[in-house]
Structure 1
Amino acid sequence: MEKINNKWMRAVLPALLIHCSIGTVYCWSLFKGDIATYMGRSVGEVEWAFSIAIFVLGMSAAFGGKFVEKDIHKSSLLSALFFVAGMAGTGFFIYQKSLLGVYISYGVVMGIGLGIGYLTPVKTLMLWFDKQKGLATGLAVAGFGLAKVIASPLMVKLLGERNGEGILVNPSNIFTMFYILAGIYLVMMFIGHVLLKKPEGYEEESVQTQKFSYRLALKNKTFIGIWLMFYINITCGLALISQEKGILAFIGFGAIGLVSSLTAIFNAGGRIFFSSLGDRMKDRNSIYKIIFISSISAFLLTIVFDGLNNSIVILVIALLCIINAGYGGGFSSLPPLLSDRFGLDSISTVHGLALSAWAIAGLTGNQLSAFVLDKTQSYDMVLYVIMGLFAVATLISIFLVKPEKVRLQSEAKEQIVVDVKKDALI
């Protein structure tokens, strides 16, 4: 038993099993067209299932933090059940050609599993890796980023052959794929649930967990600053990533699949690199400054060569890789930064609340670039808008996210501590 009672078996492996499962939500683009064709719907109608899933992910994390804080075994099991039920349900409702059913199963049910599952391993990892919190969260969240790279070949295989027009030869493969994946991820997430365990001797400080004040958090300037810069980073990342295929086609680069795999690797690599780099820095907020400034520099370098019209292809690919790395690094650097500012005791709760930014960004990121393109018919203008937002995020990181540690426990909690001390004196 001692052989498996260590940080790799009790924290890293279960975190990867859970995150590599739920991270497949980002494979949506591989089969959304097939769902639309089978159901006789437009891609735009079907696309809402993904937007709902990301929104519910963020909101279930925002309001499920206290539940995760109290019992990681219940939360990991609940995550697996919701995620797997949502995936199997999606297959069933595709078969029934029910768009509302797909919205509910893929968007709401699976979204709840995503939000709870995303939060569940984070605090456990930071407890096991007390001196390397960034590396720990980076390893887990990298699984979320790598899920697309790992699952995409399997999904392509399960979908089967296509005709000359790119339509599936056997349309029933689309819902069968969801049933098979549901079975695979049930096994993976259940193993993760069984293995996940906090270090021996650690006990939850239930008073702090119960008395965490959402009101104090939402009024705190540092938390607001972190929320805003996290929101902007996701919005900018999604705005560019959603146009990746169109931008490459615009500059005449044909190996789009190769670049997609490359940017996915940078996305996952950025999650480990930036968060582990934060372990070596005095202030983890510096990581966000590096992410924003490097992103702005990449945009400027591309624009110097007269925008996308005459840019060297390698510069455009480098820009996409840098933005993807910063996008991933923003996610993995968030929990350690929140821990530094607000303490580890209520990290699942405050982390969940911060992830509400992901919910809102999931609805605005893709739409931002689509709106700019619709109004200007210019990919260059998309670059200018995103670069401007990164500049705003840089200012927020410098002036609003203060280095001081803040308490987000309510006065009721403080009164309980005072009463305990009085009792001790008596």
Structure 2
Amino acid sequence: MTRVTGNRWTSAIIPALLIHIPIGTVYCWSVFKQLIADRLHASSASVEWGFSLAIFFLGMSAAFAGPMVERNIKRSALVSMICFVVGFAGTGVSIAAGFLPGVFICYGVIMGIGLGVGYLTPVKNLMLWFADNKGLATGIAVAGFGLAKAIASPLMEYLIGTVGLVAMFLILAAVYAVMMFIGFLLIQRPAGWVYDPATSHVSRITILKKPVFWGIWIAFYINITCGLALISQEKDILHDMLAVLPQYTGLEPSAFAAAIAGVIGLVLAVDSVFNTAGRVGFSTISDHLKHRETVYQIIFIMSIAVCLLQIVTHSIDNAVLWAVLAMLFLINAGYGGGFSTLPVLLDQHFGTKTVSTTHGLTLSAWAFAGLSGNQLAAFVVAHAPDQAHRYAALIPVLAGLFTVGLISMCLVTYCGGKRDRKATAA
């Protein structure tokens, strides 16, 4: 085993945060997507493809970047910085030129590649530096990705209001370039670690043939799809919920109107906190469990429970705000926890030496979930039989999908146990 020497904070944790916080701003898309649509005289639906493409190329670039990260972490950090910064700045230039395809190319493709490579880069490094607390280490770093929205959203809104939309992209591109370059300079493997192609290389075909991989892939895909489906609609869910409250209080609707926007903003901020706490909390819990997939089972059971709670309370009184908030907050926490627990789960089943490759392949689920999550929610809401309560139609669908995810992860536990029993017998 490699003896870990050196400063784990400056070589692993800090550079991981300096890389993940900038790339995590992809979740700030809602801050400026309508402004881009207005500026380019395009529909909001057409502009939405910028975000969908970014998530798709994030997942697919991660799927192919694993071997590069295994061989040379410095190179992958540099590639991530260049692609992300060029894509982010190029988005601003494309907006200034009034060129919508440029937004798709820069924000979706180029920046998306930077997202995928950057997301993958620090993960194995953290697991090497924190061999005894792998879940905690990856949870802290991946929390930077989730916390980025809470940090960057108000900053973006301030810059848009003071210097304009295009300048916001250019200024933040420069800031993120500095952050990610420092991360590139700092990040390094533990002293004595040497890349061994004989043990670190694994055929993707070999991985794809294993049922355990597909069980994990399906569960991860479902958790992201459900999370994105709910996140894409939560602002409208809250708006509809708050709009009906006056009839239960006897107060005039106008007394609530001014406060609704502020309340929604507060709830969305708390959502980010739960997402971040889930990333750290669930991954830390996994360090103390025999089977890491137990965390996913907890996440799915919790998510099913809050969906059922919302269904029951809605059938009694459609203004039970606390049940809606419980659903939003806890599903967001589970959504974040699914990301941070994934690397250590893959480590348990495939080993640390190939975790960058297996992690990258599994992140391809993120690519497809990025295309399906928002569209699923939009389809269900548009075709709900009761348009007065159209968002309620989404909840049973999510409960059903979470149930499929739970079954998939239970099968992973069964397959893993069966494999362990065979190894013991041998």
Match for 2:84: what amino acid? F
1:386 to 390, 398, 401: 398
* 1:176-233 deviation line (CA, Å, top 9, x unaligned): 11100100000000001111011111112212333x1111211111000000000000
TM-score, normalising length: structure 1:
0.90
* 1:365-401 deviation line (CA, Å, top 9, x unaligned): 0110110111113222200000000011111111244
User: Are the equivalent residues in 1 in contact too, given 2:292–2:345 (CA < 8 A)?
Assistant: yes
Q: How does 1:294-305 map to 2 (within 5 A)?
A: 294-305=302-313
The answer for the alignment partner of 1:49 in structure 2 is 50
The answer for the alignment partner of 1:248 in structure 2 is 238
User: Are the equivalent residues in 2 in contact too, given 1:340–1:405 (CA < 8 A)?
Assistant: no
What RMSD, in angstroms, separates the aligned Cα atoms of the two structures? 1.6
Residue range with higher mean Cα deviation, 41-50 or 271-280: 41-50
Match for 1:176: what amino acid? A
Match for 2:174: what amino acid? G
* 1:104-140 deviation line (CA, Å, top 9, x unaligned): 0000000010000000000000001101000011001
- Moved beyond 4 Å, runs of 4+: 404-407
The answer for the alignment partner of 1:128 in structure 2 is 129
The answer for the alignment partner of 1:6 in structure 2 is 7
Q: How does 1:149-164 map to 2 (within 5 A)?
A: 149-160=150-161
User: Are the equivalent residues in 1 in contact too, given 2:313–2:323 (CA < 8 A)?
Assistant: no
* 1:312-351 deviation line (CA, Å, top 9, x unaligned): 2122111100000000000000000000100000110110
Alpha-carbon separation, structure 2, partners of 1:9 and 1:317: 38
Aligned residues: 393
In the superposition, relative to structure 1, how do residues 381 and 56 fare at CA in structure 2: closer, same or farther (>3 Å)?
same
The answer for the alignment partner of 1:190 in structure 2 is 181
Alpha-carbon separation, structure 1, partners of 2:315 and 2:27: 29
Alpha-carbon separation, structure 1, partners of 2:395 and 2:146: 24
Q: Measure how far apart 1:311 and its partner are.
A: 4.3
Alpha-carbon separation, structure 2, partners of 1:302 and 1:187: 45
The answer for the alignment partner of 1:76 in structure 2 is 77
2:295 to 251, 270, 287: 287
The answer for the alignment partner of 1:140 in structure 2 is 141
The answer for the alignment partner of 1:202 in structure 2 is 193
Alpha-carbon separation, structure 2, partners of 1:29 and 1:406: 45
User: Are the equivalent residues in 2 in contact too, given 1:341–1:405 (CA < 8 A)?
Assistant: no
Alpha-carbon separation, structure 1, partners of 2:222 and 2:134: 24
TM-score, normalising length: structure 2:
0.90
Q: Measure how far apart 1:86 and its partner are.
A: 0.4
The answer for the alignment partner of 2:108 in structure 1 is 107
User: Are the equivalent residues in 2 in contact too, given 1:307–1:380 (CA < 8 A)?
Assistant: no
- Structure 2: stretches of 5+ with no match in the other structure: 244-259, 421-426
Q: Measure how far apart 1:306 and its partner are.
A: 2.8
Task: State the identity %.
Answer: 54
User: Are the equivalent residues in 1 in contact too, given 2:90–2:107 (CA < 8 A)?
Assistant: yes
3-state SS of paired residue (1:234): helix
User: Are the equivalent residues in 1 in contact too, given 2:293–2:412 (CA < 8 A)?
Assistant: no
The answer for the alignment partner of 1:265 in structure 2 is 273
Alpha-carbon separation, structure 2, partners of 1:309 and 1:367: 28
Q: Measure how far apart 1:404 and its partner are.
A: 5.0
In the superposition, relative to structure 1, how do residues 360 and 214 fare at CA in structure 2: closer, same or farther (>3 Å)?
same
Alpha-carbon separation, structure 1, partners of 2:341 and 2:395: 25
1:310 to 303, 311, 318: 318
Alpha-carbon separation, structure 1, partners of 2:84 and 2:268: 26
Q: Measure how far apart 1:250 and its partner are.
A: 1.4
In the superposition, relative to structure 1, how do residues 309 and 241 fare at CA in structure 2: closer, same or farther (>3 Å)?
farther
